[in-house]
Chains A and B, each alone.
Chain A
């Protein structure tokens, strides 16, 4: 007799833990071809979003207070753990319809993207900071600082590479993140939560919520304690509405346009300018004298 599989319950990832949605709701994740139900994912709620934002806010001083070297090591650790769970991630992408070679390529690029961004942690301040030659007896310098809590709406596809490509640059800069995963294909993203939890990422630094974007995105976009919103996973037609919601507290709005740039583009889909989008430039003056 063949052995009965142990199925995994796919849950949310909030504050370093894996709660079910407080709403108790679910939605079926189906294979692209056929009607097979792959999992019952959590249909996250407004309250889940708020809990995640509270966790991200609490984690902000922890994460932004780490040394750049340490942040880089943790991001590199994520790559290592992704590598060791490569076949699981590939399997999840394939179960949702990706061909074997496509799933493999996406996972490999995801891992490489973590490595790429891990290396930026202790370098972008030198690229984007400056010492400014002011006309007077002052020492004046500009340093990049994180914007704060970033809300990220992951694209539907590629569900893993798209998510990682958008959250990694925020993390490099010292921000904490609340991400809404691909609605139709959340499985690999939720597994990513398990990877993060075992990669020394402090609780609350990254929070992942699955559910219906139409329901969740406006809450995340309008929340007054979110400092920047990444609308990559929002259709262009809806961007204007979200922009108005984001204006209550002057959120920074960022959107990677996947219509124009391929996710595989290693010059434009990953770059220090993506880190810059979630940074604030701080300029400090001090007199010079004897």
Chain B
């Protein structure tokens, strides 16, 4: 499964980034350090997980799921159609009425704790499969996705028997069956974000993983079986958009939680009827660097903000606002830094930039980048070489970007940064807020009072000050404006799965 790491060629590095960084790059290179995969068994075929069993789809259809870094087929996965979704919802309803709502909250908690523990026990296997199926670097799936997924179950497990403390002067009641649709950028983590609070609040679940990344959700199904969660409490039905819409349209679903694009979010909202709804949608986050910021730290934050997970991050800091006086050093350091990012085999522990999740996404990124050049922005790309097979995109940034350019307005969802400038804090805030999105934002400055003021003026649900892309189960996450509504994480995340009376 592993491929040889493709090091940055010294001559391209030299050309890209003259200076101290290249001296380091020339002096050493890394040997390949692939994560072992021999302990991981991916089944040749996965069925739907309904009513506690893996069952063949009534649709009779299976789709291949691949490794985007190699284009090798990893497995074939059952595709749920309307009838399969209906079956899953019926099982979830039955489990809700007959079992789950009668389970005492403290016992409910113990089931969820079990899931958290099993994820920890199987964390390395989950990380490897996450990387193979999604293309993300192993160091990210190993150190971020999987530990955070376990942490989410652990956090919400503890809430199950403490809900009455969360909402003063209200009685809390579960909603019933929750339909949950998750994206491909953090497959297991998004499953955890959705399932953990739903179960803690006493709901049962039908989850549809993303079409390109179903495998860790199905491994989670195995974990749920192993945890002896009552049959039907969690059901997992892989498939594409039609499967998701079957869930959204199903009359016996009480709640829809969706994470994905704003475009699809709007369709879902228009179809969801009276179901309770939470949407976590797209973003075009501003990352604002003031002239007094510690520049080297800020550059690390910029890189983490946009190149983390190949930029497949709804809260990615994709619009960099640099105060004019420090534009030159920031851009220079950014050029140097992206020259040292190692793109290649996602299973290699030294890899910074993995594979683009799918060909469709690669096409979209390519098209958006072409529009950036056409609209007159100047492009800078790492000149690292790309593997022959798989889907790849070099770390890229644009300078001279105008506010109206598509690359400054539309979500690219790839490793592409737009660099803009500003003179005054007021201008930075005005321009930062000037998109329909409002998911997240970053601010870099040594001045405490400025952090607090700017943070309060940014119309975004999460503001990272002197850091970026940090997540925690106790920390609420979610958008303003067209980035959706409702929060996931923390006490606030409970509200999405409860009725208050």
Which of the residues B463, B472, B490 comes within 8 Å of A282, measured between beta carbons? B463
**Chain B residues, CB < 8 A from A142:** 475-476, 490, 492
Encoded as 1 (CB less than 8 Å from any A CB) or 0, chain B from 463 to 501 comes to 111110010101111101111110100111000000010
| C-alpha gap A285/B274 in the complex (Å) | 35
Q: Is A37 engaged at the interface, CB distance under 8 Å to the other chain?
A: no
Instruction: Give the residues in chain B near A132, CB-CB below 8 Å.
Output: 472, 474-476, 490
Interface residues on B, range: 35 or more
- The answer on a CB contact under 8 Å between B466 and A286 is yes
Tell me the bound Cα distance from A249 to B459 in angstroms.
Answer: 15
Give complex CA distance A256, B375 in Å: 47
Check if B270 sits within 8 Å of A273, measured CB to CB.
no
The verdict on A243 contacting chain B, using a C-beta distance below 8 Å, is yes
Q: Are B461 and A281 in contact (CB under 8 A)?
A: yes
| Chain B residues near A250 (CB-CB < 8 A) | 262, 265-266, 269, 279, 281, 481-485
Closest to A268 in B: B501
Q: Contact between B491 and A285 (Cβ–Cβ < 8 Å)?
A: no
In Å, the complex CA distance between A282 and B475 comes to 10
User: 12 A-B pairs, CB-CB below 8 angstroms?
Assistant: A127-B168, A134-B470, A136-B472, A138-B467, A140-B472, A142-B475, A145-B456, A247-B270, A281-B478, A282-B456, A285-B462, A287-B466
Residues 207-254 of A at the B interface (beta carbon under 8 Å): 227, 240, 243-244, 247-250, 252
The verdict on B451 contacting chain A, using a C-beta distance below 8 Å, is yes
Q: Bound state CA distance, A134 and B490, in angstroms?
A: 10
Given A140-B475, A250-B262, A273-B170, verify A286-B482 contact (CB < 8 Å): no
A243, A281, A285: the one within 8 Å of B270 (CB) = A243
B170 nearest CB neighbor, chain A only: A273
Contact yes or no, B480 A283, CB < 8 A = no
Using known A-B contacts A135-B151, A227-B481, A283-B475, determine if residue A130 contacts B490 with beta carbons closer than 8 Å.
yes
* Minimum distance in angstroms from A258 CB to a CB of chain B: 16
- A residues 192-214 with Cβ under 8 Å of B? none
The reply to whether A283 and B481 form a contact with Cβ atoms under 8 Å apart is no
Per-residue contact bits, chain B 122-164, to A (CB 8 Å; 1 contact, 0 not):
0000000000000000000000000000010000000000000
Within 8 A of B (CB), among A113-152: 127, 130, 132-136, 138, 140, 142, 145, 147
4 closest Cβ pairs, A-B complex: A134-B472, A132-B474, A286-B465, A250-B482
Check if A249 sits within 8 Å of B475, measured CB to CB.
no
Question: Residues of B contacting A248 with CB < 8 Å?
Answer: 266
Report the separation of the CA atoms of residues A271 and B474 in the bound assembly, to the nearest whole angstrom. 26
Known contacts A240-B273, A283-B462; can you find 4 more A-B pairs with CB under 8 A? Answer: A250-B482, A281-B478, A281-B487, A285-B462
B interface with A by C-beta (< 8 Å):
151, 167-170, 262, 265-266, 269-270, 273-274, 279, 281, 436, 451, 455-456, 460-467, 470, 472, 474-478, 480-485, 487, 490-492, 500
A105: interface (CB < 8 Å): no
Q: Is A280 an interface residue (CB 8 A)?
A: yes
Enumerate chain A residues within 8 angstroms of B500, measured Cβ to Cβ: 273
Distance between B175 CB and nearest chain A CB, rounded to angstroms: 16
CB contacts (< 8 Å) of B475 on chain A: these are: 132, 134, 140, 142, 283, 285
Interface centre among B168, B436, B451, B476 (most CB of A within 10 A): B476
A287 to B270, Cβ gap below 8 A?
no
Q: Which residues of B contact A282 (CB under 8 A)?
A: 455-456, 460-463
Which residues of B are found within 8 Å of A287, using beta-carbon distances?
A: 466-467
Q: Among B270, B279, B480, find the residue whose CB has the most chain A CB atoms closer than 10 A.
A: B480
CA distance A62 to B151 in the complex (A): 41
Q: Which residues of A contact B483 (CB under 8 A)?
A: 250
- Assess whether A267 is interfacial by the CB under 8 Å rule: yes
Evaluate whether A281 and B482 lie within 8 angstroms (CB atoms) in the complex, with A136-B472, A250-B279 already known.
no
User: Which residues of chain A are near B492, meaning CB under 8 Å?
Assistant: 130, 142, 281
Q: Which residues of A contact B (CB under 8 A)?
A: 127, 130, 132-136, 138, 140, 142, 145, 147, 227, 240, 243-244, 247-250, 252, 267, 271, 273, 280-287
Residues of chain B with a CB closer than 8 A to A134's CB:
470, 472, 474-475
Q: Closest chain B residue to A280 by CB distance?
A: B480
Q: Are A284 and B455 closer than 8 Å at their CB atoms?
A: yes
With a cutoff of 8 Å between Cβ atoms, the chain A residues found around residue B465 in the complex are 284-286
Q: Which chain A residue lies CB-closest to B492?
A: A281
B476-A281 in contact (CB<8A)? yes
| A241 CB, min distance to chain B CBs, angstroms | 11
How many angstroms between the C-alpha atoms of A145 and B476 in the bound complex?
14
Q: How far is the CA of A58 from the CA of B463 in the complex (A)?
A: 24
Q: A249-B481, A281-B461 are in contact. Are A243 and B151 (CB under 8 A)?
A: no
Residues of A close to B262: CB separation below 8 A: 250
Q: Which residues of A contact B169 (CB under 8 A)?
A: 267, 271
Distance of A136 Cα from B462 Cα, bound (Å): 17
Q: Which residue of B lies closest to A135 (CB)?
A: B472
- A57 CB, nearest partner CB in chain B, Å: 13
Nearest-Cβ distance from residue B440 to partner chain A, whole angstroms: 9
Task: Give the distance to chain A from B491, nearest Cβ to Cβ, in Å.
Answer: 6
Instruction: Give B283 Cβ to nearest chain A Cβ, in Å.
Output: 13
Complex: how many Å from CA A117 to CA B436? 31
**Which chain A residue has the least Cβ–Cβ distance from B484?**
A250
A284–B490 alpha-carbon span in the complex (Å): 13
Task: Give complex CA distance A140, B470 in Å.
Answer: 10
Find the A residue at minimum CB distance from B262: A250
Q: How far is the CA of A248 from the CA of B467 in the complex (A)?
A: 33
A132–B482 Cα distance when bound, in Å, is 25
- Chain A positions within 8 Å of B151 at CB level: 135
Q: Closest approach, in angstroms, between the C-beta of B118 and any C-beta of chain A?
A: 20
Known: A273-B500, A285-B465. A249 touches B482 (CB 8 A): yes
Please give, as numbers and ranges, the residues of chain A lying within 8 Å of B474 by CB-CB distance.
132-135, 140
Please name all residues of chain A whose beta carbon is closer than 8 Å to the beta carbon of B487 when the two chains form the complex.
281
